[in-house]
Structure 1
Amino acid sequence: MAGPRTTKTLRPEDERLPIGRTFAYGLQHVLTMYGGIIAPPLIIGAAAGLGVAEQAVLVSCCLFVGGLATILQTVGVPFFGAQLPLVQGTSFASVATLVAISQDGGGIQAVFGAVLVAAVIGFLIAPFFARVIRFFPPVVTGVVITMIGLSLTPVAADWSMGGDESAADYASLENIGLAAMTLVIVLALSKVGNAAISRLSILLAIVIGTLVAWALGIADFSQVGDGAIFALPQPFAFGAPTFQAGAIISMVIVVLVILTETTADILAVGEIAKTRVDSKRIANGLRADMISSIAAPVFNTFTQSAFAQNVGLVAITGVKSRFVVTAGGGILLVLGLLPILGRVVAAIPLPVLGGAGIVLFGTVAASGIRTLSKVQYSGQNLIIVAASIAFGMIPVVAEGFYENFPAWIGTIFHSGISSAAVMAVALNIVFNEIKAGNSKGGSVFHAAPPRMVKTEEVRSLREGDHYEAGKLIDAKGDEVPVVTAEQFTVALAEHLKACDKAGVEPELPEGVDRREVLEAVDDHAGPAPGRRA
């Protein structure tokens, strides 16, 4: 006789969509993060003194490795990959440090050497780092998720203005108008009753915005045909890496920041997808991050991490399937092998991406606010949230705040995400983990508890009842006695007996059992309070 069947519960992220929709949503992920993934190699390459052709090699390698890292993170193999819809790419957290290393005499080879060693160290500590999951309750994750969205908002604004401050048309009404049009298209398509169109609103808005820009002469596709059509990444194309102690130490700090940000992104997408995320899953995700970062300098690129803007795309579209992001990783991989396709995507005007980014990044912040709505503010959580978000906003609103601090402080706190994460974790430990010293009587930072009245208490009131001078008064102006539970029971029992004697059917409060009331006062000798039962 066959045993009972067992059905494995399907996780939200394991949903499989039709192949066409899978690649359409995957392309949407690529377009969302494309500007962010190609910016670091261009910035670092220019700082290292590389020419246009060499910078193009960095960009292609960046796309290639980002695609491989995304596939590893989403599909997963034993010990590697969180199996969540996370897009991987070159981390912005490393840009400032890598620029400093490249300009400090070591060039691009010292950059690759520092990334390689720091990634190995990050790989070794990833499992231990994942064990701090208990220090990431909703009061911490909500702060970090909110901060991810808020810190990305200036990126969307910069894209909307054109992305290049030195350009003559930077912040022109033409650029901002194009971004505004894209934003309106996203909102309009999101309102359409068709679910498929609504979920593809970002992609369709970017396509429509690009076509309009091309018709207006803003989008330039003239250089798409220049250069190679197909090219394989060449390992160590810029020569063997070199290793400098100072550069490596700086990059280790950056890797710690990346581990913090990736942990926050894993928790954020897990919250959005409504799926379970434990320390094992975080460790697998961090190991995938670091093994990709180890491979990155071999193929001429930099540290890899999860992209926060794509977390927002998961939230706004509701498409939680990790295989959609796997398809996006495949597209990145192809773009890395086919530079001509990369040039097509690169021709999308930044204002178009900026208009879409306003919705995307705002959605991330809204997801964080939704998480914070689950937090109980009767303790010290209010000050944790307030101080952490304000502290995280400092580098966002004042970029030069840490310029005169030691380099390692600037490395950690230059990112609003890492600033908020460090502050939220620290304050959560101080106020919620270490109870000693907390004010028992509350403090100015305690949120006032909500006023509530029990349902049964409301049901006992009648039309016209009101509270006056410390007394409950009915509609006729008579005082309604406020009694203890025991006095109420005795009075109700006497009322029942009087009704029985008079042959009248008594009215009982809802949920009151006649027999229980009479049994409770059988031996009670006390007088009934007041004249009202």
Structure 2
Amino acid sequence: MPESVRPAESEATTHPGAVHPVDERLPARRLVPAALQHIAAMYAGVVAPPLIIGPACGLDARDQTFLIAASLLVAGAATMLQTLGLGRFVGNRLPFVNAASSAGIGPMLAIADQSHGTHRLPTILGAVMIAGAFCLLVGPFFGRLMRFFPHQVIGVVITLIGVTLIPVPVQWARGGSAAAPDFNSLGNLALAGFTLVVIIAMQRFFTGFLKQIALLLGMLVGTLAAIPFGKVNTGAFTNAATVALPTPFRFGAPEFQPAAIVSMCIVMLVLMTESSAGMLAIGEITDRTVDRSTVTRGLRTDGVATFLGSMFGSCATSAFAQNVGVVQLTRVRSRFVVASAGLVLVVLGLFPKLGAAVALVPMPVLGGAGIVLFGTIAVGGIRSLVKINLDDAPNIVIIAVSLAVGIIPLAAPDVRDVHGVLVTPGIYHDFPSWAQTILGSGISAGALTAVLLNLVFNHLGARRRAAAAEHAVAVR
């Protein structure tokens, strides 16, 4: 791996016998709150795919509960596998969260739309299963691309992860769903703003451990403040099942439709790009070198989790960028913290009543916390960009164009009303579905642009230019 791609080693690695912060085992009093912060940051994202896909496939409330439980269970198992590793085959052994990605929701809804009755979910899960096998097959080739990810590319990708996620907490701050009766109300925005101010105040005045768990404390204060105004909905907790044991093929044997499989394999390529970018981001934040083998093992984990998870009803699995922000904000870099969060997710999946308790945190409170969280990721990207020469014209072009391409989906998205009817088509609305999948993700579109421009400026013809320079020096 070229030196330019290697994150700086921390002090812990310069002293023989010292434990790197990534491998540090924290005492329970620090580990548990830090793990709960990861759960709070990711919970809404983990349950979002089953909450959307379930109704589209005609599931009743009971089956919907099992679909959500499967998503939590697989996310927890995948996260533990990723952070703890299994030999040299899977696991990047970084504080890295894996869970069902929302990136595949659009294609999965399209598959459900093109299928009929009880065939909808089996067709989706069959396509997800093949996509997992596809990831296992091509993952090692992705690992070989790491030499094409210098700081110009890494910085762009990390910045885009933060910037493209900002609409998510903004939507949460407004109330979560446009169909909610109080969506965009002053009450919701005030609650989000209050939570944001509380977290900022804690970051300013707290020190040590309390400062590290400011995100969790801020969400707790925000939730307590929401109770008198009726913003805490206990219905989900009351109606949730107590136990939901995972059952393979509960929703029927997988069905394999070529069009659905191709669509999900394209989604998997996008998720692999985002996972690779997430691993590079974590490497930068934790001062741990991310090389080809690290990325390969990480992507294998995605493949294994996606393939096996499909048997229980889970969607395609990949990196969770919001948890990169938690590591960046708290500076708690231990992978065992994230592994503990994975264990909690497994328990939440087995006991939906506990999962529903986590969901008591109102959407506006999550929104206020998310603004801090995702903005922090963008700062990590900027930190990477300042390591390069920003007076160099090629670097400026690579960064400027890649960031612009990544922001286009945010600037011109599909706009729909509260009933889901398209009001204004986005810029890529009339593109083929595979192009929409790739270009519609600002992270993947920006990453691919940065890699291609880096090839054009820094790789193609590099030997010829170096030889010409050497010849010029020799002539002098």
- 2:401 matched residue in structure 1: 387
Which piece of structure 1 moves more, 306-315 or 210-219?
210-219
SS in 2 for 1:380: helix
Shift of 1:221: 1.6
1:316-360 deviations in Å (ceiling 9; x for gaps): 100000000011001101100111011111121111000000000
Shift of 1:286: 0.7
CA contact (8 A) 1:64 1:335 kept: yes
CA contact (8 A) 1:76 1:83 kept: yes
- 2:97 matched residue in structure 1: 87
Matched, 1:104 2:114: yes
* Among candidates 43, 46, 61, match of residue 52 of structure 2: 43
Shift of 1:223: 4.0
Shift of 1:194: 2.4
- 1:415 matched residue in structure 2: 441
Q: Which amino acid letter does the alignment assign opposite residue 304 of structure 1?
A: T
SS in 1 for 2:310: helix
Matched, 1:397 2:416: no
SS in 1 for 2:99: strand
Whichever of the two has the greater Rg, that structure is: 1
- Give the direction of change, closer, same or farther, for the CA distance of 1:282–1:222 in structure 2 (3 Å limit): same
CA contact (8 A) 2:135 2:302 kept: no
Matched, 1:203 2:213: no
Aligned-partner Cα distance in 2 for 1:435–1:143 = 23
- 1:522 matched residue in structure 2: none
Aligned-partner Cα distance in 1 for 2:164–2:322 = 11
Shift of 1:436: 6.7
1:241-260 deviations in Å (ceiling 9; x for gaps): 10000110111111111110
**Stretches (4+) displaced over 3 A:** 6-9, 435-440
Shift of 1:12: 2.2
1:442-491 deviations in Å (ceiling 9; x for gaps): xxxxxxxxxxxxxxxxxxxxxxxxxxxxxxxxxxxxxxxxxxxxxxxxxx
Aligned-partner Cα distance in 1 for 2:397–2:450 = 10
Aligned-partner Cα distance in 1 for 2:57–2:96 = 30
Q: Which amino acid letter does the alignment assign opposite residue 393 of structure 1?
A: I
Q: Which has the higher contact order (CA 8 A, sep 6+)?
A: 2
SS in 1 for 2:266: helix
Matched, 1:52 2:52: no
- 2:77 matched residue in structure 1: 68
Matched, 1:20 2:34: no
Q: Which amino acid letter does the alignment assign opposite residue 18 of structure 1?
A: P
Identity %: 46
- 2:134 matched residue in structure 1: 121
Shift of 1:49: 2.1
Aligned-partner Cα distance in 1 for 2:272–2:244 = 32
Matched, 1:32 2:41: yes
1:355-409 deviations in Å (ceiling 9; x for gaps): 0000000000000001001112324010000000000001122112111001110
* Aligned residue runs from structure 1 range 124-523, under 5 A: 124-377=137-390, 378-399=392-413, 400-435=426-461
Shift of 1:8: 4.1
SS in 1 for 2:318: strand
Aligned-partner Cα distance in 2 for 1:391–1:94 = 20
Aligned-partner Cα distance in 2 for 1:159–1:397 = 19
Q: Which amino acid letter does the alignment assign opposite residue 31 of structure 1?
A: A
- Give the direction of change, closer, same or farther, for the CA distance of 1:238–1:376 in structure 2 (3 Å limit): same
- Give the direction of change, closer, same or farther, for the CA distance of 1:96–1:438 in structure 2 (3 Å limit): farther
1:191-230 deviations in Å (ceiling 9; x for gaps): 1242111110000011111111112211022442324212
Aligned-partner Cα distance in 2 for 1:203–1:88 = 20
- 1:511 matched residue in structure 2: none
SS in 2 for 1:225: helix
SS in 2 for 1:163: coil
CA contact (8 A) 2:409 2:427 kept: yes
Aligned-partner Cα distance in 2 for 1:205–1:407 = 40
Whichever structure has more helix as a proportion of its residues is 2
Show structure 2 runs of 5+ residues with no match: 1-14, 414-425, 467-476
Q: Which amino acid letter does the alignment assign opposite residue 110 of structure 1?
A: T
CA contact (8 A) 2:65 2:240 kept: no
CA contact (8 A) 1:147 1:417 kept: yes
Aligned-partner Cα distance in 1 for 2:211–2:140 = 39
- 1:497 matched residue in structure 2: none
CA contact (8 A) 2:101 2:316 kept: yes
CA contact (8 A) 2:40 2:358 kept: yes
SS in 1 for 2:252: coil
Aligned-partner Cα distance in 1 for 2:260–2:195 = 42
1:105-148 deviations in Å (ceiling 9; x for gaps): 14011000000011101101111111100011000010000000
SS in 1 for 2:195: helix
- Give the direction of change, closer, same or farther, for the CA distance of 1:434–1:335 in structure 2 (3 Å limit): same
Aligned-partner Cα distance in 2 for 1:332–1:153 = 24
SS in 2 for 1:393: helix
Q: Which amino acid letter does the alignment assign opposite residue 93 of structure 2?
A: Q
Paired residues, number = 435
Shift of 1:10: 2.4
CA contact (8 A) 2:35 2:337 kept: yes
CA contact (8 A) 2:243 2:352 kept: yes
Aligned-partner Cα distance in 1 for 2:266–2:396 = 30
CA contact (8 A) 1:12 1:275 kept: no
Aligned-partner Cα distance in 1 for 2:58–2:379 = 41
Which piece of structure 1 moves more, 227-236 or 171-180?
227-236
CA contact (8 A) 1:82 1:281 kept: yes
Which piece of structure 1 moves more, 35-44 or 190-199?
190-199
- 1:472 matched residue in structure 2: none
SS in 1 for 2:237: coil
Which piece of structure 1 moves more, 253-262 or 12-21?
12-21
Aligned-partner Cα distance in 2 for 1:436–1:283 = 27
Aligned-partner Cα distance in 2 for 1:42–1:270 = 32
Aligned-partner Cα distance in 1 for 2:387–2:293 = 24
